[in-house]
Amino acid sequence: MSDSPDWLGKLKHIGSDSPLVKEGLSRMQGTMNTFTARFSPISSEVNRITATKLWKEQVIPIFARAIHEINYLDIVKNRGLANPLRHQALSAADDKLRQAEAECRNMNTQSRLAALVGPEDEIRRLRIELWGFLLAWDKAELSSD
């Protein structure tokens, strides 16, 4: 689990130097670090392997696809959440993160790992932060016009 996901690098390719965007990325990185830390106390090797599989094969690829949806439509360069392309990209990313939540919940149900109860909450928090900091960025932009 020492492998560091490259999701932050993908997010940085969005291409904004806005302090608000940087703060949002930093907060989301903290959320992902918290998510990773949930796997640290897992004691049995079987549980550790299951957690690693969940992380590497389920959550990271889904999250990467969510970031790709955002990056592909270059939403940060489009002004205003009302912009149809931007809203479409955010909705697609949110759908991918919901899928990651469901995968976590499904893995927990299948494996009955008490140590893994709750990762979907971290992904839900990440979704909220994704929307929250972009909405705040929109508000800051509108007030500067």
Which helix H or strand E contains 81, and what residues bound it? none
**pLDDT at residue 2 in the model:** 37
Q: What rounded mean pLDDT belongs to the chain?
A: 55
Length, in residues, of the chain = 145
Contact between residue 57 and residue 120 where contact means Cβ atoms under 8 Å apart:
no
Residue type at position 66: A
**pLDDT at residue 115 in the model:** 43
Does 22 reside within a domain?
Answer: yes
Does 24 reside within a domain?
Answer: yes
- The radius of gyration of the chain from alpha carbons, rounded to an integer in Å, stands at 16
Does 55 reside within a domain?
Answer: yes
The encoded tokens of residue 52 equal: 């690693």
Contact between residue 118 and residue 105 where contact means Cβ atoms under 8 Å apart:
no
Does 74 reside within a domain?
Answer: yes
Token look-up 């106390």 returns 41
Does 62 reside within a domain?
Answer: yes
pLDDT band at 29 (very low <50, low <70, confident <90, very high): low
Does 1 reside within a domain?
Answer: no
pLDDT digits (tens, 9 = 90+) for 56-83: 665 556 555 555 555 544 444 554 545 5
Q: Name the pTM for this structure.
A: 0.36
How many CB atoms neighbour CB 129 within 10 A? 16
pLDDT digits (tens, 9 = 90+) for 79-109: 454 556 656 666 666 676 677 667 666 655 5
**pLDDT at residue 118 in the model:** 52
Does 2 reside within a domain?
Answer: no
Q: What's the structural domain count of the chain?
A: 1
Domain limits at 131? 7-144
